[in-house]
């Protein structure tokens, strides 16, 4: 009989893995809303396991920014306040810019075509705009590029930051059609810089400014990082 494995590796799925996947699926499906408490006891009963793997899964989700742990309260579905959102977007801009620049030399023609295909799908959305589908395609576009980053630690950090925003469900922070139209142009610029073997500094700056432009469009706050050449 084949052994069930986690998507990220070849080790068998543990009870904590199962609990992690279940809780995350419930959050993604809206069964847990922002601020809702996530209690180990009921989850353990639902999944037929002890509280130990549930608590391990909760800690893992908290480390990813999906849950927050509050003293004397426990785990809640995380919510970004204004400052936390701005801080997170600036961190994402820095990490994505550096990761994309480092990845550039490893990105193949096939990778560029795949990223361009995601961008084309975003363009196709513009006349009947769906912000949820846009966010998914945008994340795939960026992952196609930064996933080739040869620095394992930077790759881990940028994935962590993107994961935080993948679980953000605040309609007030959705990208609108106007920003999406600007995004596809910025995507094309990043791809052209990589295709023409531009300098790492140029690629890093374009990728970083792209994320910061989204921050400014969503919050009307201009990051000080827009005034720097590189980080």
Domains held by the chain: number? 2
What is the per-residue pLDDT for 155?
95
What is the per-residue pLDDT for 192?
98
Residue 31 confidence class, pLDDT cut points 50, 70, 90:
confident
Q: Write the CATH number for 206.
A: 1.20.120.530
Cβ contact 76:188 at 8 Å = no
**How far apart are the C-alpha atoms of 71 and 58, rounded to whole Å?**
14
CA angle at 221 for the pair 219 and 222, rounded to the nearest 5°: 135
CB neighbour class for 42 (10 Å; exposed up to 12, middle 13-18, buried from 19)? exposed
What is the per-residue pLDDT for 166?
72
21 lies in which domain range?
A: 15-77
Cβ contact 141:180 at 8 Å = no
- Asked if residue 221 and residue 116 are part of one domain, the reply reads yes
Kindly give, in sequence order, each residue whose CB lies less than 8 Å from that of residue 197, ignoring residues fewer than 6 positions away. Answer: 104
What is the per-residue pLDDT for 173?
58
pLDDT tens per residue, range 96-105 = 999 999 999 9
- Asked if residue 64 and residue 31 are part of one domain, the reply reads yes
- Asked if residue 152 and residue 213 are part of one domain, the reply reads yes
With 50 as the cut, is the pLDDT of residue 231 above it? no
User: Domain for residue 39, yes or no?
Assistant: yes
- Asked if residue 103 and residue 195 are part of one domain, the reply reads yes
- Asked if residue 186 and residue 107 are part of one domain, the reply reads yes
- Asked if residue 202 and residue 91 are part of one domain, the reply reads yes
Residue 64 confidence class, pLDDT cut points 50, 70, 90:
confident
- Asked if residue 34 and residue 91 are part of one domain, the reply reads no
Single pTM value for the model: 0.72
- Asked if residue 190 and residue 208 are part of one domain, the reply reads yes
Mean pLDDT of 157-182: 77
- Asked if residue 107 and residue 216 are part of one domain, the reply reads yes
Cβ contact 146:103 at 8 Å = yes
pLDDT tens per residue, range 132-148 = 889 889 999 999 999 99
With 60 as the cut, is the pLDDT of residue 122 above it? yes
**How far apart are the C-alpha atoms of 183 and 120, rounded to whole Å?**
12
User: Domain for residue 9, yes or no?
Assistant: no
The SS3 call for residue 179 is helix
With 90 as the cut, is the pLDDT of residue 30 above it? no
- The DSSP secondary structure of 103-129, one letter per residue, reads HGGG--HHHHHHHHHHHHHHHHHGGG-
- Asked if residue 132 and residue 71 are part of one domain, the reply reads no
Strands 67-70 and 74-77, how do they pair?
antiparallel
Where does a domain end: 25, 57, 77?
77
Lowest mean pLDDT among 67-71, 114-118, 226-230: 226-230
Q: Write the CATH number for 58.
A: 1.10.10.10
User: Domain for residue 107, yes or no?
Assistant: yes
- Asked if residue 141 and residue 27 are part of one domain, the reply reads no
With 90 as the cut, is the pLDDT of residue 170 above it? no
């Amino acid at each position: 009989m084949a052994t069930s494995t986690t998507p990220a590796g070849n080790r068998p799925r543990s009870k904590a893995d199962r609990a992690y996947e279940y809780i995350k699926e419930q959050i993604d499906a809206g069964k847990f809303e922002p601020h809702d408490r996530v209690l180990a006891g009921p989850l353990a009963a639902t999944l037929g396991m002890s509280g130990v793997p549930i608590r391990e899964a909760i800690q893992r989700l908290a480390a990813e920014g999906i849950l927050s742990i509050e003293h004397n309260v426990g785990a809640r579905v995380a919510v970004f306040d204004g400052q936390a959102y701005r801080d997170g977007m600036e961190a994402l801009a820095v990490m994505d810019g550096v990761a994309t620049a480092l990845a550039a030399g490893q990105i193949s023609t096939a990778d560029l075509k795949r990223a361009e295909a995601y961008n084309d799908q975003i363009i196709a959305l513009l006349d009947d705009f769906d912000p949820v589908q846009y966010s998914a395609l945008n994340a795939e576009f960026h992952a196609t590029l930064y996933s080739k980053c040869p620095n394992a630690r930077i790759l881990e950090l940028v994935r962590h930051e993107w994961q935080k925003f993948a679980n953000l469900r605040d309609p007030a922070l959705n990208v609108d059609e106007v920003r999406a139209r600007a995004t596809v142009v910025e995507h094309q610029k990043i791809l052209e810089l990589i295709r023409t073997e531009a300098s790492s500094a140029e690629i890093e700056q374009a990728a970083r400014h792209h994320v910061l432009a989204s921050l400014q469009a969503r919050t009307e706050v201009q990051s000080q990082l827009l005034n720097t050449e590189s980080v």
